[in-house]
Amino acid sequence: MRAAGAVTQIDDAPDELPAGDHAPLLLNWQHVQADGFKLGQVTPESGRFMLDGLALGLKLCRDDVADAMCVALLNKAAMRAGGMKHPDEMHYFCEVLDYSGKTVEFNVNDKLWTSRVTSHVPHKDVSGMLTPERIANGIALLWEGLRASGLEHPRIAVCGLNRHNGDGGAFGRDEIDVIAPGVALAAQRGFPVEGPFPADTTFVRAINKANGGGYDGVLTMYHDQGQIAMKLMSFGEGITVHYGLPMPITTTAHGTAYDIVHKGIAMPGAMKNALLIAAKMGASAHAAKV
């Protein structure tokens, strides 16, 4: 993200690029040769290209040439075939940046932001990974992300883990022993949060904003607890925000859909939304630097 003005074009990716408030920069990356890839197929070559492109984008942000990154949809199988040793791109970003701070992945639509305490892990491991501190940190990161997107007073709801919120301990004590103490800890730190609520009604509460109700963000305990609800509400429009890194990074919430390549039916809505959120969060990040 750069200041408005005449476009500057630079061919390829030189070691040094102009930083600061300059005209928009169009980088004509010469490595893009579409005829060198097998369309709609997972290959090591396409995965390596994705990783190289991500590394370049991170360098541009790290060098203050850009304030945020908007990434086209990625295929994790191709990235692993291309050399990525991590479970997802967030861990790859951290390695490239040599970054060890707190990070999180948000899923976003025009109604709601969601985050999760655990992510790409087996379901059987979720309960053992929950702690009050992780719950409180998750609430804090979600609140900070909502603020960075321009929302002045975000409100957050927290999902329970077990069916019926554990029914007072009959179906598990995670809500009593871990999640509720985490919510209380976050509230003590000044974050406007409520819960835990039964997971099957949390999203109904969240989007019901009539008469002053509703929430702006929902913290879930595991990946699909939030993903299923979000994709039902906004498939083809929702986005993912990688937050906590030295720069905001956005992308689409859907995958590469190799099965519809060249059919002319792909929906551009999520990519457009990802670019707009990257611009908004990049502006906030830039303002914080100056």
Instruction: Tell me which DSSP letter residue 6 carries.
Output: S
Q: How much of the chain, in percent, has pLDDT values that exceed 70?
A: 86
Instruction: Tell me which DSSP letter residue 7 carries.
Output: P
H or E stretch covering 250: strand 249-252
Task: Name the superfamily (CATH) of residues 111-236.
Answer: Isopropylmalate Dehydrogenase (3.40.718.10)
Neighbours of 247 (CB within 10 A): 23
- The structural domains of the chain, with segments of one domain joined by +, span 1-100+254-290, 111-236
Q: What is the pLDDT of residues 59-68, one digit of tens each?
A: 989 988 889 9
Our separate counts of H helices and E strands in the chain read 10, 10
How is residue 157 written in tokens? 């709801």
Look at residues 36, 35, 25 and name the one whose alpha carbon lies nearest to residue 2.
25
Q: What is the pLDDT of residues 236-248, one digit of tens each?
A: 788 999 988 999 9
Beta strands, E only, 58-192: 69-71, 104-108, 113-116, 156-159
What is the predicted pLDDT for the residue at 18? 58
